[in-house]
Structure 1
Amino acid sequence: MPETPDTKPSAVELNQRIRDLMLRSGGRLSGQQRAEYQLLLSRWAAAVREDIVTAA
């Protein structure tokens, strides 16, 4: 699903995107893929923190 300002991907969705990226790359990231990975990872961490705060 495309992101809009009103929708944020869940931690589960971001995790799947990270897994897909690693599978596509065969575990060896190019510079561009590494930047994408870092962005996805930081967004995943933020989503996990948000889930924890919501659960509390």
Structure 2
Amino acid sequence: MSPESVTPGSVRSAAEVNERIRALWLRAGGSLSAHERAEYELLVVEWAAAIRGEVVKAA
């Protein structure tokens, strides 16, 4: 996953991003390559933003 593939203000839910993170770890067998690590980092940032958005909506 390249930085260009993550859209700022993504509309994916935290649950959806979490599923992608879990799938990445499963594919990687528990050990991430440099490319997978970069993808993981982008997903974690997206997940955190989605969580913040969901908390704001709930408040």
TM-based fold match above 0.5 = yes
Give the distance between the partners of 2:36 and 2:12, measured in 1 at CA. Answer: 19
Q: Which runs of 5 or more structure 1 residues have no equivalent in the other structure?
A: none
Q: Which runs of 5 or more structure 2 residues have no equivalent in the other structure?
A: 1-5
For residue 13 of structure 1, the aligned residue among 16, 21, 28 is 16
Q: How many residues align?
A: 54
Structure 1 segments, 4+ long, off by >6 Å, are none
For residue 53 of structure 1, the aligned residue among 45, 52, 56 is 56
Partner of 1:44: 47
RMSD between superposed Cα atoms in Å = 2.0
Higher relative contact order (CA closer than 8 Å, sequence separation 6+) = 2
How far off is 1:43 after superposition? Answer: 0.2
- TM (norm. structure 1) is 0.87
